[in-house]
Amino acid sequence: MKRNVQEEVAKLISEMTIEEKVAQTSQLAYTQMPKERAEEYARKGVGSFLHVLGDDAKHLQDLATSNGKKIPLIFGIDAIHGHCLKKNATVFPTQLSMACSFNTELVEQMADATAKEVAADGLHWTFSPVLCLGRDIRWGRVAETFGEDKYLAGELGSAMVRGYQGDDLSADGKILACAKHYIGYGEATGARDSYDTEVTYRKVRAEFLPPFERVVKDGCASIMTAYGAIDGIPCTANKKLMTDILKTELGFEGFVVTDWDNVRHLIRKQCVAENFEDASEIALNSGNDMMMKTEDYIEAAVRLVKEGRVDESVLDEAVRRILTAKMELGLFDNPYKRLDESVIGAAEHQQLSYELAKECVVLLKNEDVLPLKKDEKCKKIVVIGCNADSVRDMYGDWTYFTHPDPNFDAEPVRPYVTFIEGMLGLKDDFNCEIVHAKGCGILENDEAQLDEAFKLIADSDLVVYTFGDDIYQTGEAKDRADMSLTKAQGEVFDRLTKTGKPIVSVMIASKPMCVPEIVENSKAFLTAFNPGAYGGKVLAETVFGLNNPCGKLPISFPNHVGQQPCYYNYLPGWHCKKYVDMPQRPLFVFGEGLSYTKFEYSDVAFDKDSLTLSVKVKNVGERAGKEIIQVYFRDVVSSVITPVKQLIAFKKIELASGEAQEYKFTFTEKDFSLVLPDERRVMEKGELEVMVGASSDDESLIKICFVQDKTVEIK
Ligand code: NOJ
Distance separating alpha carbons of residues 159 and 35, to the nearest angstrom: 37
Distance separating alpha carbons of residues 662 and 88, to the nearest angstrom: 44
Mean pLDDT of 595-611: 98
Q: Is the pLDDT of residue 532 over 70?
A: yes
Per-residue pLDDT of 78-116, as tens digits, reads 999 999 999 999 999 999 999 999 999 999 999 999 999
Give the mutation target among 50, 127, 176, 185 for probing the ligand 1 site: most ligand atoms within 8 A of CB. Answer: 127
Mean pLDDT of 533-545: 98
Atom index in ligand 1 nearest the CA of residue 76 equals 10
pLDDT of residue 67: 96
Q: Whose C-alpha lies nearest to ligand 1, atom 4? A: 259
HEC secondary structure over 519-560: HHHCCEEEECCCCCCCHHHHHHHHHCCCCCCCCCCCCCECCC
Question: 312-328 vs 295-307: helix axis angle to the nearest 10?
Answer: 130
pLDDT of residue 162: 98
- Averaged confidence pLDDT in the chain: 97
pLDDT of residue 556: 98
User: 613 and 629 in contact (C-beta within 8 Å)?
Assistant: no
Which domains, and CATH codes, for the chain?
28-255+268-277+323-342 (3.20.20.300), 364-546 (3.40.50.1700), 599-714 (2.60.40.10)
Q: Is the pLDDT of residue 149 over 80?
A: yes
- Pocket of ligand 1, beta carbon within 6 A: 50, 78, 127, 180, 259-260, 476
pLDDT of residue 1: 63
* Percent of the chain surpassing pLDDT 90: 95
Give the mutation target among 476, 478, 479 for probing the ligand 1 site: most ligand atoms within 8 A of CB. Answer: 476
Per-residue pLDDT of 184-220, as tens digits, reads 999 999 999 999 899 999 999 999 999 999 999 999 9
Q: Which residues contact 268 (CB under 8 A, 6 or more apart)?
A: none
Mean pLDDT of 336-360: 97
Distance separating alpha carbons of residues 480 and 469, to the nearest angstrom: 11
How many CB atoms are located within 10 Å of the residue 218 CB?
17
Atom index in ligand 1 nearest the CA of residue 51 equals 11
When pLDDT is cut at 50, 70 and 90, the band that residue 375 belongs to is confident
Q: Is the pLDDT of residue 377 over 90?
A: no
pLDDT of residue 195: 92
- Tell how far the Cα of 478 is from the centroid of ligand 1, in angstroms: 14
- Tell how far the Cα of 514 is from the centroid of ligand 1, in angstroms: 28
Distance separating alpha carbons of residues 587 and 100, to the nearest angstrom: 17
Q: Is the pLDDT of residue 307 over 80?
A: yes
Give exposure, 601-620, as e/b (b: 16+ Cβ within 10 Å).
Answer: beebebeeeebebebebbbe
Per-residue pLDDT of 635-694, as tens digits, reads 999 999 999 999 999 999 999 999 999 999 999 999 999 999 999 999 999 999 999 999
pLDDT of residue 444: 87
DSSP string, 195-252: -EE---HHHIIIIIHHHHHHHHHTT--EEEEPSSEETTEEGGG-HIIIIIIIIIIS--
User: 59 and 82 in contact (C-beta within 8 Å)?
Assistant: no
Give the mutation target among 185, 260, 293, 403 for probing the ligand 1 site: most ligand atoms within 8 A of CB. Answer: 260
CA dihedral 351, 81, 548, 419 (to 10 degrees): -90
Q: Is the pLDDT of residue 47 over 80?
A: yes
Q: Is the pLDDT of residue 593 over 80?
A: yes
pLDDT of residue 2: 76
Per-residue pLDDT of 115-131, as tens digits, reads 999 999 999 999 999 99
How many CB atoms are located within 10 Å of the residue 294 CB?
26
What does each C-alpha distance from 385 to 343, 448, 506 come to in angstroms? 35, 15, 10
Per-residue pLDDT of 457-499, as tens digits, reads 999 999 999 999 999 999 999 999 999 999 999 999 999 999 9
pLDDT of residue 439: 84
When pLDDT is cut at 50, 70 and 90, the band that residue 448 belongs to is confident
Give the three-state DSSP class for 270. coil
Distance separating alpha carbons of residues 197 and 234, to the nearest angstrom: 9
Atom index in ligand 1 nearest the CA of residue 127 equals 7
**Would you give the DSSP letter of residue 282?**
H
Atom index in ligand 1 nearest the CA of residue 80 equals 7
Q: Whose C-alpha lies nearest to ligand 1, atom 1? A: 260
